[in-house]
Amino acid sequence: MSRWTIKEEKDDGTIWWMIRGGAFSNVINREYPNRLFDSEKDASMYSNNINRSYGRKTTIVEVEYRDAKKY
């Protein structure tokens, strides 16, 4: 099943992914899974809001997941 998530690439080359609650982490595991969106539109609106409000440079990425938690 195709879903969307948000990532941010830092200047030092590390990639930070949006996790539950809207926080970002460079480590993804069972305790801190990616925050997934059902549609590209929802992910894009959330990403644009973060970029505008906090001055970040996030992008949305399409990912394939099985048994993913819906928001």
- Residue ranges making up the domain that contains 15: 2-64
pTM > 0.85: yes or no: no
Q: Is 22 within a domain? A: yes
28 inside domain = yes
Within-domain flag for 37:
yes
| Structure confidence at residue 13 (pLDDT) | 93
Would you say residue 70 has pLDDT above 90? no
Compute the distance between CA of residue 29 and CA of residue 47 in angstroms, rounded to an integer: 22
In whole angstroms, give the CA distance from residue 52 to residue 67. 32
Domain membership flag for residue 69: no
Q: Residue 46: how many CB atoms within 10 A of its CB?
A: 19
Query: pLDDT tens digit string along 25-51?
Result: 999 888 888 899 999 999 999 999 999
Q: How many domains does the chain have?
A: 1
Name the least confident of 9-13, 15-19, 65-69.
65-69
* Residue 71 falls inside a structural domain: no
Strands of the sheet containing 24-25, edge to edge, are 24-25, 15-18, 2-9, 58-64
Residue 59: inside a domain, yes or no?
yes
